[in-house]
Structure 1
């Protein structure tokens, strides 16, 4: 056999050793659960772990977990030849680029609104009093200051994380999403509720908040209402979701529009009725 320029010569031994090394590296990563597929499964298992909401009865109670649901907003941006569903639950988002080093909720996670209404880790929050962490079983009343603490089912002993509004220090784009989870508990984490109709807000202060009641949730630092960024949809690990912000949407009659209307769902029966 003669060799000339048309004969292809390969490094067969080197290729075989390289394949063996890559296979051993794959096995080692699989044993350590470092594969991207395994990390993704862990992420889904932690954030989508279903947990029933505590049944608090007619009224929202401190120390009980709730869902913050925009019940009047469509669950999908466009529906063709199908019945439109309504309801978007405020949820915690872990982005695709964060999966390598984050498989659970943590400080800095973005807040979105998801059409997934099943109670789970990423869309359940504890109602915590801004003045007394140990308050439990008391009724939440209109005008009370409270915190939304994330429910970490995968690691209950982890430090608490709160929904925090980050105010902009300079002019910001309209699609900026300033609500994130934070381990820092300051005044930016404080929220309050108001009755939906302006004529009921003065007399309604101090009255208990009913589960499933349509109301306004306002951040105390921003002095703006929680709102749905319905024009800002994004594709995530959990499907199409839209943004959430703090802004006032007022019609010509001085009433808040559907973007500002939320409900605090604290039991399965109330969520089913909605």
Structure 2
């Protein structure tokens, strides 16, 4: 009797062939819709991970139209009180499963968070927008209203940083304080202003240009509460550990804002196209 060979059709060969045809059709259908894993990875590289070039501040000030990062520098005490936290966090768009597993644009409203990456990419860069008719290129001033819009990573749309009073259905998920989010239209909810860091000098600095790469307070105009990263509320996502951002003024015993409310508007290092001013080494004192 002849021995069986690999070419002999035995068992459920018809079902196997049918399943193989179904897998091929499913593959072709997903490729047409852009749902393949490699296509999703390329989509992320072209959006949230797309490298963005920040604006250069020639005069050391922040201007309307500038592309910047918003960095919460923290300090040693925040790291000691919350082991495992990063000393520097940047404001970023929260990207959830809906965006990762679909070919659609970011939903509106959309969440924001603070991430440990300090490299300017589509997820954590914003554009300074005028809301009162100021021209592009003019420096923003302490007490002047401005908006913050998403940038090049999501070129097909722009979302605006916003906040609103806390309610029974609208609040930050972890801290239950005032929520910060992104919406798709400018309004009184998307207006912010820069406040001088030292409370005793705020009246004197009202109307002065806002310096870039220096600590300031960013206050929501409608609710008069300040943008903050408390750092003790965080979640794990596809892209690492992300910290909650809320709108709440944290005051110390001297009625001054704590480091949770400190922000630095970061610009590009003019001597390095891919670097930022926070990467620039401090000049060493001259030794005679």
Please give the TM-score of this superposition, normalised by the length of structure 2.
0.81
Q: CA offsets, 1:68-119, max 9 Å, x none?
A: 110125689534xxxx852111001211243222565452221010111111
C-alpha separation between the residues in 1 aligned to 2:150 and 2:212? 19
Q: Does 1:59 align with 2:61?
A: yes
Q: CA offsets, 1:38-93, max 9 Å, x none?
A: 223312331111122110220001111111110125689534xxxx8521110012
Structure 2: gaps of 5 or more residues: 1-9, 270-275, 282-288
1:85-234 aligned at under 5 Å gives the runs: 86-102=87-103, 104-132=105-133, 135-155=135-155, 158-170=156-168, 172=171, 174-176=174-176, 178-234=179-235
Q: Which residue in 2 is equivalent to 1:17?
A: 18
Shift of 1:206: 0.6
C-alpha separation between the residues in 2 aligned to 1:163 and 1:224? 14
CA contact (8 A) 1:161 1:181 kept: yes
C-alpha separation between the residues in 1 aligned to 2:180 and 2:47? 21
Shift of 1:257: 0.8
Greater shift in the superposed pair: 31-40 or 16-25: 31-40
Structure 1: gaps of 5 or more residues: 1-8
C-alpha separation between the residues in 2 aligned to 1:256 and 1:117? 23
Shift of 1:210: 0.6
SS of corresponding position for 1:66:
strand
Q: Which residue in 1 is equivalent to 2:72?
A: 70
What is the root-mean-square deviation in Å for CA atoms of aligned residues? 2.6
For the structure 1 residues 35 and 75, does the alpha-carbon distance in structure 2 shift closer, same or farther, using more than 3 Å as the test?
Answer: farther
CA contact (8 A) 1:196 1:216 kept: yes
